[in-house]
Amino acid sequence: MYRAGALTAGARVLGLSQPTVTAQVRTLEGRLGRELFERRPRGVVPTPFADDLATRIMDPLDALVAAAGAPDGAPEGDGPAEPVHLAGPAEYLSHSVLPTLAPLVERGVRLRVSFGLTEGLLDELRAGRHDLVVATARPRGRSLAWLPLSDEEFVLVGAPAWAERIGGRVAAEGPAALHGVPLVAYAEDLPILRRYWRHVFGRRLTAVPAVTVPDLRAVRAAVTGGAGVSVLPRYLCAAELASGALVPLHLPEDPPINTGFLVQRPGPPASPHVALVRDHLVRCGREAG
């Protein structure tokens, strides 16, 4: 329950019924004489006493589970190893993660990949639906373990025709040079564009996007086709920038940088293949950096 953040999710991870877990938690609270969780409509919140207790016992319990498992973490039985459930942003996994995992697949690693937004994927990770999640923000609290994976730089880009019309005015005039220029965005609230405006220009962006499409690869395609300008991760548009299909409209000395994180539940991985994928991705991220 502590790691999953909800009674139902904790029961699912353990493979037990919800009434069984509820009874065990109440028995433990009775023996300790302290409440461990505050029940809320959307889950449970650990009390300060539970935080302290978890900090003291998680590592020993995880070590006991690992020692009681199959030798050397090998999967039981003669069948194939359980697949590694990996989740994260569709664009980053497709462009930067999946191509690097080919050597592991050749070694027998099975993958099941899901796409989604960080907040929802982390909730699903706590509930045991994924083994590893690539997150665009560092998880809060102690219920998840994380490692920095890579940094991505954001670039304000447009097709050559828009670059010619705007010229070099962005450096001199700031966002005023983009007045009236259509914006292509990932979502209606312009999340990446708003961050760029705030970080680079020190201004709040209040524009309405001309085009919204919930896939940065599609945003890239629309901008390359001349639909307007946008802000994209450099890794996603590096080829277009090199070929001239896209042009950087501004090159600030301090561009916005976002760090990606590889997140898992605390304790030993569920299988040696999960550890293999985790370590491989962290190593590839460091080499790319």
At residue 73, does pLDDT exceed 70?
Answer: no
- Report H helices in the chain: 7-14, 18-32, 48-68, 90-92, 102-106, 118-126, 160-166, 169-173, 191-196, 216-224, 234-243, 272-288
The percentage of residues in the chain with a pLDDT greater than 90, rounded to a whole number, is 59
How far apart, in whole angstroms, are the C-alpha atoms of residue 134 and residue 120? Answer: 12
At residue 10, does pLDDT exceed 80?
Answer: no
Whole-number pLDDT of residue 188: 95
Q: Is 188 exposed, middle or buried (0-12, 13-18, 19+ CB in 10 A)?
A: exposed
Question: Residues 224-231: what's their mean pLDDT?
Answer: 98
At residue 120, does pLDDT exceed 60?
Answer: yes
At residue 72, does pLDDT exceed 50?
Answer: no
Q: 33-42, 72-81, 173-182 — which is least confidently predicted?
A: 72-81
Whole-number pLDDT of residue 67: 67
Contact between residue 88 and residue 115 where contact means Cβ atoms under 8 Å apart = yes
At residue 122, does pLDDT exceed 60?
Answer: yes
Q: What structural domains and CATH numbers belong to the chain?
A: 7-68 (1.10.10.10), 85-144+267-288 (no CATH), 152-257 (3.40.190.10)
Q: Nearest 5 degrees, angle CA 218-CA 219-CA 225?
A: 90
| Most trustworthy range by pLDDT among 31-35, 106-110, 183-187 | 183-187
| pTM of the entire predicted model | 0.72
At residue 47, does pLDDT exceed 80?
Answer: yes
Whole-number pLDDT of residue 62: 67
Q: Three-class SS string for 40-76? A: ECCEEEECHHHHHHHHHHHHHHHHHHHHHCCHHHCCC
Evaluate the CA torsion angle 123, 128, 134, 138 in order and state its sign. positive
User: Could you report the per-residue pLDDT of 189-207, keeping only the tens digit for each?
Assistant: 999 999 999 999 999 999 9
How far apart, in whole angstroms, are the C-alpha atoms of residue 232 and residue 183? Answer: 12
Q: Which two tokens stand for residue 137?
A: 């923000």
At residue 71, does pLDDT exceed 50?
Answer: no
